[in-house]
Structure 1
Amino acid sequence: MPVLLALLYVLCHGMVVAFWPGTAGGGSFVFLVAAPLLAAAACLLRARRDRAALGWRATALALLLWAGGMGVNMIDALGAGRANITPTASLLLYVLYGVPLVFILARARRERWSISLIDGGMAALLGVLFFVHTRSFADRIDVDSHALALMQRMFDIQNLCIAAFAVVRWLAGDVPERRVFFRALALYALAYLGVAFYINHYTAEQSFGAYNDLLIDVPFLLLALLALRRAPVPGGVLHPQLSRLVQAGGPIILPLLLLVVGTLVVDHARALALAGFVVATLGFGLRSTLLQSDLLARQAALDRLAHQDGLTGVANRRQFDTLLQAEWNRARRSGAALALLLVDIDHFKAFNDAHGHPAGDRCLRAVAAVLQSTAGRAADSVARYGGEEFAVIVPASTLSGVLALAERLRLAVEALTLPEGPVSISIGVGYLHPPAMASADQLLADADAGLYAAKRAGRNQVVLHARVLDDGSSGEGVIDC
């Protein structure tokens, strides 16, 4: 149905051109203004239900600017405008049409609003510089036979850049919804490039109201159809390496264009050219600083995720292995003692089955918080060993101090008041002094043996399995709670 309506729109436009003759082409202007407005409405409608909403809204803004330019052309053609204002106004609107498109094409995804604001400022200044340069040709059309061709070439360059950037962003898309948007924008931009080139270079001498006006409808109607189309969202990435390259190099587009266009206008607008150079340099530097700050923050967050258990907030198993080996190496060099506590929540599977996984998660978080707060020394490290098991590394402590800590941990957890009822823990203690006589794996095995003995003895207690004690003896001891 939308395709039939688009064909009907072009047919009606052709009938108006055929049966409403006149050099001004007033009837044709109605369709030329309505086509981009319909496309803008379709883009805004799509933005209400799409993850690439910013892109669709930016495109709608561009289309509104273009429709404004055509509306000013209509006023001028109908003789209702002022000769010294309306041509300049229409030229400005046609130039500014490209600003939202360049902004969205240069913008990387997931950027903070301050970076987008910097990009928006650079895009706006780029439009002003482009307008100043294009107007310098428009002002000389009556006295310079090459001025019109140069102005047309500038618009060709603008349209070509938009189409090329859109195609690249389409091919490099790594988010399905954004790839759909850039595909629609690329197809529209390519159609607009072809139509604008033909109109500007082959029918420039003709006034509005001719049959070639029907071609101008095509890109806008195509975009409206693509925006309204409910196509399946593609999966995967077409070109992963190109995607990474575009994400990394996209931010340089606006500063580079500012420098290029600033160079073009330096002869007839030196102050604006200088402003372009300064904004390009400072804008790129500032956005790079903000982006680097974001990257450092994300890296810190990733580091925390890599070393921290997501549920309980204590160290995860990978970090535990690293910490245990580091403490083992330190104890071996210094000759100090090293202890390891393995903690298991008693009957946790039954607790989970009876109260559900959300309650089990709350229990794990509560036990982890108690262990973290009770193991008060900065040198002591608490980690989630796996499932309902936790580990506490206790360096450079006497055996009596380690056992006292284990007992404090047991009593603190036993005193927990959970909505589902009380919980308890069993603790296995491994202790090496001096540690050079065994290994970190042996310490872990001793703590595991102590934990197994605690469970076998009835749970809710601390069991010591020490390889070598302070007095040089070996053995396994049970702390009766």
Structure 2
Amino acid sequence: MAAILLAWPLVHLAALLLVPAQAKPLSFAFLILAPLAAALACGLRARRRRNADGWIALALAMLLWASGMTVNMCADLLLADAGPITGLSILFYVLYGVPLTFLVASPARDPWPARLVDGLLAAALGWIFWVHTFTFATITDASAEGVLNLRLMFDIQNLFVLLFALVRHRASTDPQRRALFGTLALFAGAYLLVAGYINHFQMEADFGQLPDVLIGLPFLLLAWLALRPAPSSLERRRASSPRFSLLVHAGSPLMLPLTLLAVSGPLISRAPGLAVGGFIAALLGYGLRNILVQMRSFDERDRLTRLSRIDALTGLANRRQFDETLLAEWNRARRSGTPIALALIDIDHFKQLNDGLGHPVGDARLRSVAEALAATATRGGDLVARYGGEEFAAILPGIDANIAADLAERMRRDIAGLGLASPAPGGIVTVSIGLAALVPDAASEPAELLAMADSALYGAKRSGRNAVMQWQVEAPAIPAPGPRPLRGAA
């Protein structure tokens, strides 16, 4: 592939020198095929599915540039009066910068609705930029000053892409993303130099002459960069600090609205309606984009908050959520003078189950027990949590000891009724439950309730397991002589 790309400009040069009579159509063919080859190379790179959107944007830009050259060819070779469609070719050359601008200004990690807004802003920028070029010069009648301004506008567009590609490359922490922006920076730099030379020093030269060979070089460079197996030095360069990366990620969306405002401003005197439309698009677009990104941030924050409070295996509340809820319910019960109950539930012989059937089966049994417990404690204030390992806990606010005992017995009975196979004695999964209930006073702490329930659980296991034991005290909290067995088969 490298040999073909290196030979390309030599073949182009040979065609111009050896077949001068057909130099113009042959040169057009080379100038159209070069960006098409670059588009194909970028499309092949996109098939690797790493940063595919960026490589597709590059391919689209190449196709737009090739379309502009195709219009140039048709106007030059087929039409006697090229004026009416020459503006179309300039439109394609302007639109060529739209996907590149979108690529450098729209962070890939942002939600797709926000990136859609970026795409619309980039399209609006391309349209206004095109209109802007014709405030300096028309196709059929251009002053020297207008032509100079037209060239400068294209220089600004090319320089914009190069500078921000370098910034995005420098800020990228992902090597694949850095490879994408490194490729874009190398291409944009080469294109800026070649386009600047052609536009400023060879503008009067017709197609079919030696400068045409230079025009294809940036596209051949892009094709090689997209297809090469080894990374370039730009891609291997160490990424910048995370703070700089975050700054660029946060500031990149400002590129489009600010550039749109800058391009719309000079149009106020010549096309006030279009200028006002550009201002409105920039302000509303950026505002809408911020709303969409903030909504995504809020959703992500809520999701992370939920995950930080949920046990990943069972889907129940985790220990952190349990501790916070127990403290909140304890304080509420203390203020209102209402009882609060706590049940600690432990799967019997769980180590034997894990060793005999394996950890995947053990995990499945944990999930089944968790579902049964959650299906039993269904009141609005109840909370079932995974307390640790094979142990669960249920906070039962606002119920007295007798009702809590009935609920705990129902938990024990429902789990035994599942008939989950286990190598433990009895052949099925069972649980032991320790229960404590009290009305907290001003001097008591949740740790007292936990200690009582834990002591009751120890008593249930010592009595033969598959049982519920309760430690009940009345307010003010006075320790009872010890755990009292309730019901359950050994």
> Do 2:439 and 2:477's aligned partners in 1 also have CA atoms closer than 8 Å?
no
Structure 1 equivalent of residue 313 of structure 2? 311
Alpha-carbon spacing, 1:436–1:411, altered in 2? closer, same or farther (3 Å): farther
Quick one: which of 448, 461, 471 aligns to 2:454?
448
Gaps of 5+ in 2: none
> Larger deviation: 176-185 or 138-147?
138-147
Paired residue type of 1:51: R
Paired residue type of 2:432: S
**Distance in 2 between the 1:114 and 1:439 partners?**
50
> Do 1:431 and 1:466's aligned partners in 2 also have CA atoms closer than 8 Å?
yes
Alpha-carbon spacing, 1:50–1:471, altered in 2? closer, same or farther (3 Å): closer
Alpha-carbon spacing, 1:103–1:14, altered in 2? closer, same or farther (3 Å): same
State how 1:127-276 maps to structure 2 within 5 Å. 127-139=126-138, 142=141, 144-231=143-230, 237-276=239-278
> Which SS does the other structure have where 1:360 is aligned?
helix
Structure 1 residue 33 corresponds to structure 2 residue 37: no
Structure 1 residue 478 corresponds to structure 2 residue 485: yes
User: Offset at 1:132?
Assistant: 0.9
Structure 1 residue 286 corresponds to structure 2 residue 288: yes
**Distance in 2 between the 1:229 and 1:419 partners?**
58
Structure 2 equivalent of residue 54 of structure 1? 53
> Which SS does the other structure have where 1:377 is aligned?
coil
> Do 2:334 and 2:439's aligned partners in 1 also have CA atoms closer than 8 Å?
no
Alpha-carbon spacing, 1:473–1:267, altered in 2? closer, same or farther (3 Å): closer
User: Offset at 1:466?
Assistant: 4.7
**Distance in 2 between the 1:239 and 1:147 partners?**
44
Structure 1 residue 458 corresponds to structure 2 residue 454: no
**Distance in 2 between the 1:248 and 1:294 partners?**
14
> Do 1:171 and 1:179's aligned partners in 2 also have CA atoms closer than 8 Å?
yes
**Distance in 2 between the 1:460 and 1:52 partners?**
56
User: Offset at 1:26?
Assistant: 2.6
Quick one: which of 431, 436, 446 aligns to 1:430?
436
**Distance in 1 between the 2:61 and 2:399 partners?**
70
> Which SS does the other structure have where 1:150 is aligned?
helix
Alpha-carbon spacing, 1:73–1:291, altered in 2? closer, same or farther (3 Å): same
User: Offset at 1:418?
Assistant: 4.3
Alpha-carbon spacing, 1:150–1:430, altered in 2? closer, same or farther (3 Å): same
**Distance in 2 between the 1:282 and 1:468 partners?**
64
Paired residue type of 2:188: A
**Distance in 1 between the 2:421 and 2:274 partners?**
69
**Distance in 2 between the 1:351 and 1:297 partners?**
39
> Which SS does the other structure have where 1:427 is aligned?
strand
Quick one: which of 396, 399, 414 aligns to 1:394?
396
> Larger deviation: 257-266 or 74-83?
74-83
What is the TM-score when the length of structure 2 is the normalising length?
Answer: 0.90
User: Offset at 1:287?
Assistant: 2.3
> Larger deviation: 103-112 or 186-195?
103-112
**Distance in 2 between the 1:230 and 1:349 partners?**
52
Quick one: which of 357, 360, 365 aligns to 2:359?
357
Alpha-carbon spacing, 1:449–1:467, altered in 2? closer, same or farther (3 Å): same
> Larger deviation: 160-169 or 111-120?
111-120
Deviations 1:320-344 (A, max 9, x none): 1111222223333344333321111
Structure 1 equivalent of residue 4 of structure 2? 5
> Which SS does the other structure have where 2:464 is aligned?
coil
> Do 1:24 and 1:78's aligned partners in 2 also have CA atoms closer than 8 Å?
no
Paired residue type of 1:406: A
Deviations 1:345-401 (A, max 9, x none): 122233334444343333222221221121132222111111221111122332222
Alpha-carbon spacing, 1:23–1:12, altered in 2? closer, same or farther (3 Å): closer
> Which SS does the other structure have where 2:393 is aligned?
strand
**Distance in 2 between the 1:419 and 1:15 partners?**
82
> Do 2:158 and 2:192's aligned partners in 1 also have CA atoms closer than 8 Å?
yes
Alpha-carbon spacing, 1:202–1:147, altered in 2? closer, same or farther (3 Å): same
Paired residue type of 1:462: V
Alpha-carbon spacing, 1:418–1:270, altered in 2? closer, same or farther (3 Å): farther
> Larger deviation: 428-437 or 162-171?
428-437
Paired residue type of 2:224: L
> Larger deviation: 363-372 or 79-88?
79-88
Paired residue type of 1:251: P
> Which SS does the other structure have where 1:428 is aligned?
strand
Alpha-carbon spacing, 1:236–1:400, altered in 2? closer, same or farther (3 Å): farther
Paired residue type of 2:484: G
User: Offset at 1:468?
Assistant: 5.8
Alpha-carbon spacing, 1:373–1:287, altered in 2? closer, same or farther (3 Å): same
User: Offset at 1:91?
Assistant: 0.8
Deviations 1:36-88 (A, max 9, x none): 10000001111111221111111111101111112222233335464222321
**Distance in 2 between the 1:225 and 1:456 partners?**
75
> Do 1:399 and 1:470's aligned partners in 2 also have CA atoms closer than 8 Å?
no
**Distance in 2 between the 1:36 and 1:158 partners?**
18
> Larger deviation: 94-103 or 393-402?
393-402
> Do 2:133 and 2:150's aligned partners in 1 also have CA atoms closer than 8 Å?
yes
User: Offset at 1:157?
Assistant: 0.3
Gaps of 5+ in 1: none
- Kindly tell me the number of residue pairs found equivalent between the two proteins: 480
